[in-house]
Structure 1
Amino acid sequence: MLDALKVVTVVVVGVMVGVEFSVAFVMNRIFSALPEDSGQLGRAHGGRMLGAVMPFWYIGSLVLAGVWAVAGWPGQGAGLVVTAAVLLVLSVIMSILLLVPINNRSKAWTPENRPADWKEQMNRWDRFHYLRVAVIVAAFALLAAALV
């Protein structure tokens, strides 16, 4: 049962990392290259869509890592899992304090109602997101290392 939990945790966190990495390094670059207002509209739609799913994914990943840490304590790799769980906690805190407030504003923007500094706000979101991606990549790496 513990082995199944480990695999599910690594898969769930790994797919989350893949989605967030794609947002940071693929999707937002595509949106930035689109003509006129298409990029801003694409980001707003992505903010609505992913904003509805990601809280469950982040919290679910954290819960899975926490259960693994408790169930696997004091076994081999438990320290790695605990550290990964701490990093996932950090990613949730970063999300709530830094990214969600910007996302909540930007997901409702249209070319007609967006603020004058909308690009600066998107750049700030991107910088915070890059940092969050680094944190969850590190958590994923620790979870994967704990498997071996």
Structure 2
Amino acid sequence: MHLIDILTIVLAGLMVGNELTVSLFINPVMWKLDAGAQAKALSLFAGILGRVMPFWYGLCLILFLIEAVVHRGEPGFYPLVAASILWAAIIVFTIVWLVPINNRVAALAEGAPLERWLPEHRRWDRLHRVRILLLLVALVLATHALLQCGR
């Protein structure tokens, strides 16, 4: 297995792990906080993740595309293309639906009324679970493909 293959699997795997952590651990803890603390914590998380994640998503897509080019003609080529297309679709899904919600949550003031941001956070959480499922499928496709190409 080549270094680029390992880097691709690790970075995409860490991305999926990060998104799972948000859904499985961070958000359930957030729901247990009082409204003021929840608004503040969500604003902080939304701000920092909103700055970092676009670069991480983009880097993973670039790596998937490089892998598809490098491995064209090999057994794993089509799953790599599928993973690349799915990853690009996830980015579009994120930009169209999740980023606007994230931006509104990040801009929340600590004293914002619960009824203003709670529905936004619940909606983001539901859409985020869809994104996690799609990310997991893309990761499995890419990992399977790269293992096939490494034989």
Tell me which interval the TM-score lies in, with the shorter structure as reference length.
over 0.9
Distance 1:35 1:116, change over 3 A: closer
Which secondary structure state, in structure 2, belongs to the residue aligned with residue 37 of structure 1? helix
Cross-structure match for 1:75: 74
Which deviates further from its counterpart, 71-80 or 52-61? 71-80
Normalised by the length of structure 2, the TM-score is: 0.92
State the number of aligned residues: 147
**Unmatched tracts of structure 1, length 5 or more:** none
Matches of 2:109 and 2:124, distance apart in 1: 17
User: Is 1:111 the equivalent of 2:110?
Assistant: yes
Normalised by the length of structure 1, the TM-score is: 0.93
User: Is 1:57 the equivalent of 2:51?
Assistant: no
The root-mean-square deviation of aligned C-alpha atoms, in Å, is 1.4
Which deviates further from its counterpart, 96-105 or 32-41? 32-41
Query: How far does residue 114 in structure 1 lie from its aligned partner after superposition?
Result: 5.1
**Unmatched tracts of structure 2, length 5 or more:** none
Q: Which has the higher contact order (CA 8 A, sep 6+)?
A: 2
Which secondary structure state, in structure 2, belongs to the residue aligned with residue 112 of structure 1? coil
Cross-structure match for 2:129: 130
Which deviates further from its counterpart, 108-117 or 90-99? 108-117
Preserved CA contact (<8 Å) 2:16 2:132: yes
Preserved CA contact (<8 Å) 2:35 2:114: no
User: Is 1:145 the equivalent of 2:132?
Assistant: no
Query: How far does residue 146 in structure 1 lie from its aligned partner after superposition?
Result: 1.3
User: Is 1:12 the equivalent of 2:14?
Assistant: no
Distance 1:93 1:5, change over 3 A: same
